[in-house]
Structure 1
Amino acid sequence: MLVRPALLPELPPSPKALFGREGPLAVEVGFGDGRFTALYAKAHPGRLILGAEVSAGSVQRALRRLRREGIGNVRLYLGEGGFALRNLVPERSILEVIVNFPDPWPKKRHQGRRLLREAFFRRLSTRLAQGGRLLLTTDHEEYFRFALEEAERTGLYRIETAPPPEAHLLTKYALKWREMGRPFFHAVFTKEAEDPHPWPPIRRYPMAHALLRGPLPEALALPQAPIRFPQGVALFLEVAKGERGFYVLTHVEEEDLTQDLLLEVRQSAHGLYAGVSRLGHPLITQGVKEAVKALVGALEGMGLEVVQDHT
């Protein structure tokens, strides 16, 4: 039930590869504890539902709920909704996207973090089937008006506002806010045209590593400054020494994708290995490659010689 992109043979996977069968696709962005997800899945047993959520605790709670209720037409992804829409569903394949109570990022300086901006609506149009739609429910009126304006600016959607469906008000926080008498806002954005710019899936690479000639260093001092590249930034967080060598906790941020992964420096049968650890099945992206390049560069600065470079 949990989707691990690094283990998929291709991006995006076909619905059959992800769910074991074909069917109309729906995507829920920010499913919380999975309460609405379970209701939606049971109400639409023929649909294939992909959920995206950034909270690991929420994903675990939702997984337990789905297993407890015997629901098999849902797959969950731990990460940003934008990543799931870009990489886990084919073009023009989605019947419905549900966004219930998204983070409104109310401070003006944080509005660039909002999901429902013009760029998102444009990219979403390449993933929705013709006539596919996004359903938004929120208690934040300013964000609601903001989303309407952002979608209207694209000229790609028919926009309708109405009272929210009852099922959308059965989430944990909606029930709490209803008791407090807070108002709710609901809109349906139906695709009528498509943005002409493609939104290709993120590029994946083979395992990034290098082999070097020379002894394992006694200590490994790595630069603390961020490693910047056009698509994002990487940072070495911590270095630990083990029996086989060094392990480097590394943070990588790219568009709609954040990964914390281990790099390692250790002796192998063919030389000193510097590269990605397989622990946690990281997705090998440009950002991961840039982090490995920086690690190898640091080792070269210590006098080691690169004999094979796969970064």
Structure 2
Amino acid sequence: MLVRPALLPSWPPGVADLFGREGPLVLEVGFGDGRFTAELAKAHPEWLILGAEISAASVLRAYRRLRREGIGNVRLYHGQGPFALRNLVPPRSLRRVIVNFPDPWPKKRHQRKRLLQEGFFRRLSTRLVEGGDLLLTTDHEEYFRFALEEAERSGLYRLEVREPPEAHLRTKYALKWREAGRSFFHAVFTKVAEDPHPWPPIRRYEVAHALLKGNLPERLVLPRTPLALPGGVAVFLEVARGEEGFYVLTHVEEEDLTQDLLLEVRRSAHGVYAGVSRFGSPLITEGVKEAVRALVRELGKAGLEVVQDHT
């Protein structure tokens, strides 16, 4: 029921890899505590519902709700919606996207963080089936108008402003804001054309490590300067000494994916191992490999020599 990309047997996965069967695929971005998701799954048992949510606490609450109610046609992903759309949804396979009460990021300087921008609508068109749609419900009128303008600018959707479906007003926040007397806004964005630029899934690697010869240094001091990546950044946050060597807490940000992971520098039977720790099952991406390369370069400055490079 919980999707862990690093543990999926195939990459990118197909619908059957996630759900064990084929069927109409629906993506919900920001499912909160899962009450709407559960209602939707029970109302449409033939649908296969993939939910994406950045709050770990919300994922846990939704997971417990789905288990408690015996719902089997939902898969939950803890992370950004665009990552799930890009990497967990095959091209032209998505029947519907549901976005209920997204963060409006009302301050001008934060608007670049809004989900429903022209670039998102363009990329979404590569994943929707012909006639597939996105349903937006929000209480924030300015964001609602913004989303309409961004979708219209893409030229890929037919826009319809409607009354919100009653089911969309039974989310946690909708119930709270309905009591406060707020107004709600709803639109349907139906795909009528597709962006010509492909949007391939990120490349996942099996390993990211190097073997070196030489002596482990007594101390490992790494620069805290952010390492620029294509579309992101990596930072060595902290170094800790263990019985076998060093552990390096590393922060890696890439497009729609942020990971905090451990890198290791330790003595092995074949020399000194420098690479990704399996703790937490991180997704090994190009950004993670670049962080390992930077670590190996620092070890080279300390006098170690690379004998095998798998970075």
Is TM-score (shorter-chain normalized) higher than 0.5?
Answer: yes
More off after superposition, 93-102 vs 8-17:
8-17
Displacement of 1:244 after TM fit?
1.2
Task: Give per-residue Cα distances to partners, 1:164-196, cap 9 Å, x unaligned.
Answer: 001101111110100000000000000011000
Residue in 1 aligned with 2:62? 62
**Aligned residues with identical type, % of pairs:** 79
Match of 2:306 in 1: 306
Cα distance in 2 between the residues matched to 1:27 and 1:180? 29
Q: Is the 8 A contact 1:35 1:171 kept in 2?
A: yes
Task: Look up the match of 1:150.
Answer: 150
Report the alpha carbon displacement of residue 10 of structure 1 after superposing the two structures with TM: 2.6
- Spell out, residue by residue over 1:216-274, the C-alpha distance to the aligned partner (whole angstroms, 9 max, x if none): 11111001000102221000111111111111111000000001100000000100000
Structure-2-length-normalised TM-score:
0.99
Deviation at 1:136?
0.2
Aligned to 2:119: 119
Question: Which residue is equivalent to 1:184?
Answer: 184
The equivalent of 2:24 in structure 1 is: 24
SS in 1 for 2:3: coil
Segments of structure 2 that go 5 or more residues without pairing to the other structure are none
Q: Deviations over 1:196-218 (max 9, x none)?
A: 00000001122100011111111
Q: In 2, are the aligned partners of 1:239 and 1:248 still within 8 Å (CA)?
A: yes
Q: Distance in 1 between matches of 2:101 and 2:208?
A: 39
Query: Counterparts of 2:230 and 2:136 in 1: how far apart (Å)?
Result: 32
Aligned AA for 1:252?
Answer: V
CA distance in 1, matches of 2:284, 2:228: 17
Whether contact under 8 Å (1:241, 1:247) holds in the other structure is yes
Check conservation: 1:262, 1:276, Cα contact below 8 A: yes
2:295 is aligned to 295
Say yes or no: does 1:133 pair with 2:113: no
- Would you say how many aligned residue pairs link Structure 1 and Structure 2? 311
2:204 paired residue number: 204
Shift of 1:14: 1.3
Q: In structure 2, what is the equivalent of residue 47 of structure 1?
A: 47
Distance 1:127 1:37 in 2: 21
Amino acid at match of 1:187: A
Listed one character per residue, the Cα deviations across residues 32-80 of structure 1 (whole Å, up to 9, x for unaligned) are 1111100100011000000000111110110000000000000000000
SS of match in other structure, 1:64 = helix
**3-state SS, counterpart of residue 2 of structure 2:** coil
SS at match of 1:300: helix
In the other structure, the counterpart of 1:237 is: 237
Using the alignment, how far apart are the partners of 1:220 and 1:307 within structure 2?
Answer: 20
52-61 or 2-11: bigger deviation: 2-11
- Aligned CA RMSD, in angstroms, stands at 0.7
Are 1:231 and 1:287, in contact at CA under 8 Å, matched by a contact in 2? no
Q: Which moved more, 1:65-74 or 1:235-244?
A: 235-244
Unpaired runs of 5+ in structure 1? none
1:261-297: per-residue Cα shift (whole Å, max 9, x none)?
0000000010000000011111111110110011111
